[in-house]
Amino acid sequence: MFTILPIKGLFEQIEGFYCDGISAGLKPNNALDLGFIYSDTLCDVEALFTENRFQAAPLKHYQMYEKDFKTNFLLINSKNANAMTGKKGIEDINTIFSSLNYDVVNPIMSSTGVIGNPLPIEKIVKGANSFNLKAKNAYNLSKAIMTTDAYEKNCMYEVKLEDGSSFKIGAVAKGAGMINPNLATMLCFICTDANVPKKDMKEALKLNSKTTFNAISVDGDTSTNDTVLLLTNKKSNTYNKEAFFEALRLVMHDMAMLMVADGEGAKKAAAFEVKNAATYEEAEKAAKALSNSLLVKTALFGEDPNFGRIASTIGASGIKSDENRLVISYNDVIVYNKGELVFNEEVEQAAAKVLQNDKFKITCDIGVGEYDFTAYGCDLGYKYVEINADYRT
């Protein structure tokens, strides 16, 4: 038995972690654009990275450390991804870390923003050298890592175990555009004081990514920079595997749901539930096809219960299916039932009403097996085009 409850504040509440976000002049108008996480002891660290073949320089830099390295410092900038920047990208990171006016061990960098431009080293060094390493302000950090995000993403929980001991776990994240299954321009930094064994860190991240970060999509693109980092200073001196896995799942789920609801210009968050597919892989494939379909996304934007696009997308996904077994519903409103034309005026009005909500579920019962998967997506409207037609400017 254990309880997981949200608590006030963010991961600066964990003893030994310090963090902040400042303006280093990368973004205009003194917006926050550079942040850090500092730990007063060395932390175990584990990461998940993008599946994009062209990993950005900070991801390569991280992977140059030896296995099971420990760290006490993480530097994060927005506005510039330091991706497709060749050898210079990695050299720049080393230059930055060797120019700091304080000591850190195995420092990690993380970047997000435009691809293909060299990092503004001087601004970053100047900013990093102005950090107050005793600051405790994860909220500012969550602001500093935003790009086209409309709001900050963060959460914080305390986990109480049966023996009265407890540990804490919290995260800050950024999402918005380029979000797709298998991580995509998303950064998520998770700090905990749980006494979690190294091998459980990796296992828990991998397991929970399947149903959280890898189940969401904004635009089907996968970025060069996606990173999920888990840091633990183990200061709680307590651990329970089941409780930790569930708490981490909750943190990752929270962050994933905030990301999908904040898809660039999105007004609506949809859960695409595929039920009773022939295999787990087919359930996943069809659910992700729905969350990525432009025609489905624009129909959601138009609040149009055009179930033909849902059906067509299931058919186009190539999974085992039969239109005489398929049932499609918008929340509880059945709009297509095994080949019967149930879509009369009354049903249409009820379905349209579902789509007027900010959040809803679209269910496709394939009816040929017993495997389910839920993917999460959003609508696509004018704002998405506006944001992406001139993101660099």
Question: What residues act catalytically?
Answer: 185
Nearest to 251 by CA among 72, 6, 35: 6
358 binds a second copy, rule: CB under 8 A:
no
CB of 240 to a second copy, least distance (A): 38
Looking at 70-78, 150-158, 201-209, 385-393, which segment touches a second copy (CB under 8 A)? Answer: 385-393
- For residues 184 and 250, which CB has a smaller minimum distance to a second copy in the complex? 184
Q: What does the radius of gyration of the chain's CA atoms come to, in whole angstroms?
A: 22
> Does residue number 382 form part of the binding site for a second copy (CB under 8 A)?
yes
DSSP assignment of 310-345 equals: HHHHHHHTT-S--TTT-EEEETTEEEEETTB----H
Report the alpha-carbon distance of residue 380 to residue 378 in Å, rounded: 7
Question: Alpha-carbon distance 96 to 124, whole Å?
Answer: 7
185 labeled binding residue: yes
388 annotated binding-site participant: yes
**CA separation for the pair 197, 244 (Å, rounded):** 11
219 touching a second copy, by CB under 8 A? yes
Chain positions 139 to 168 lying near a second copy, rule: CB under 8 A, are none
CB atoms within 10 A of CB 84: 13
With CB under 8 A as the contact rule, which of the stretches 192-200, 207-215, 273-281, 312-320 interacts with a second copy?
312-320
Question: The tokens of 185 are what?
Answer: 């321009």
Size of the site for a second copy (CB under 8 A): 69
Q: What distance separates the 2 farthest-apart alpha carbons in the chain?
A: 72
Q: How far is the CB of 339 from a second copy (least distance, A)?
A: 3
Helix (H) or strand (E) holding 25: none
**Residue from 203, 221, 246, 372 in contact with a second copy (CB under 8 A):** 221
Minimum distance from CB of 268 to a second copy (Å)?
12
Q: Which of 84, 130, 132, 206 binds a second copy (CB under 8 A)?
A: 84
Minimum CB distance to a second copy, residue 97 (Å)? 21
Is 393 assigned to a binding site? Answer: yes
φ/ψ of 59, rounded to 5, equals -70, -40
Angle between helices 280-292 and 294-301 (to 10 degrees): 50
Please name the residues in contact with 330: beta carbons below 8 A apart, sequence gap of 6 or more. 305, 307, 351, 354, 355, 360, 361, 362
Is position 122 an interface residue for a second copy (rule: CB under 8 A)?
no
86 is a contact residue toward a second copy (CB under 8 A): yes
Residue 174 marked in a binding site: yes
Binding site for a second copy (CB under 8 A): 51-55, 81, 83-88, 114-118, 177-178, 180, 184, 219-224, 292-295, 298-299, 301-302, 304, 306-309, 311-319, 321, 323-324, 336, 339-341, 343, 380-382, 384-386, 388-393
Annotated binding site: 147, 174, 185, 264, 388, 393
